[in-house]
Amino acid sequence: MTACTAAVASPGPSEPGTSTAPEGLEPDGVETGVLLDELTAAVGGARHEARFIVDEALAAGPGATRPGVVPAGAVVAARALADRRASGEPLQYVFGHWPFRNLDLRVDPRVLIPRPETEQVVEVALGEARRLRGLRPGVGLVAVDAGTGSGAIALALATELGADAVDQIWATDSSADALDVAAANLAATSAAAPCRLPHVALVEGSWLDPLPRGLRGRVDLVVSNPPYVAAEEWADLDPAVKAEPRRALVAARGRHGAAGLADVEAVLGQARRWLGRPGAVVVELAPHQSNSARGRARELSYDEVRVEPDLAGRDRALVAWLRGAQ
CATH number at residue 285: 3.40.50.150
Higher-confidence residue: 172 or 60?
A: 172
What is the radius of gyration, based on Cα positions, of the chain? Answer: 22
Report the alpha-carbon distance of residue 78 to residue 32 in Å, rounded: 11
Q: How many degrees, rounded to 5, is the angle at CA 142 between CA 137 and CA 145?
A: 135
Look over the chain and give the mean of its residue pLDDT values, rounded to a whole number.
92
Same domain, 78 and 160: no
What letter does residue 148 receive in the DSSP assignment? -
218, 278 contact by CB (below 8 A): no
Is 2 a member of any domain? yes
Of the candidates 66, 219, 50, the residue with the CA atom closest to the CA atom of residue 144: 219
Could you tell me the pLDDT band of residue 233, with boundaries at 50, 70 and 90? very high
Report the alpha-carbon distance of residue 120 to residue 308 in Å, rounded: 9
Is 18 a member of any domain? yes
Q: How many degrees, rounded to 5, is the angle at CA 246 between CA 273 and CA 317?
A: 45
Same domain, 81 and 115: no
Is 291 a member of any domain? yes
Could you tell me the pLDDT band of residue 28, with boundaries at 50, 70 and 90? confident
pLDDT tens-digit profile of 74-107? 999 999 999 999 999 999 999 999 999 999 999 9
Any alpha helices (H) in the chain, and if so which ranges?
32-42, 47-58, 72-86, 91-95, 116-135, 152-161, 176-192, 239-242, 262-274, 290-299
Give pLDDT, residue 325. 67
Q: How many degrees, rounded to 5, is the angle at CA 105 between CA 188 and CA 132?
A: 85
For residue 249, the SS3 value is coil
One-letter identity of residue 83: D
Could you tell me the pLDDT band of residue 326, with boundaries at 50, 70 and 90? low
Same domain, 313 and 239: yes
- CA dihedral for 15, 17, 21, 22, sign (positive or negative): negative
Report the alpha-carbon distance of residue 86 to residue 50 in Å, rounded: 11
Is 96 a member of any domain? no
Write phi, then psi, for 100 (nearest 5 degrees).
-145, 110
Q: What is the H or E stretch that residue 171 is in?
A: strand 166-173
First to last CA, the chain: 28
What letter does residue 29 receive in the DSSP assignment? -
> Does pLDDT of 21 surpass 60?
no
Same domain, 76 and 27: yes
**Residues 225-236: what's their mean pLDDT?**
97
Q: How many domains are contained in the chain?
A: 2
> Does pLDDT of 305 surpass 90?
yes
> What is the span of the domain harbouring residue 63?
1-87
One-letter identity of residue 209: D
Same domain, 39 and 129: no
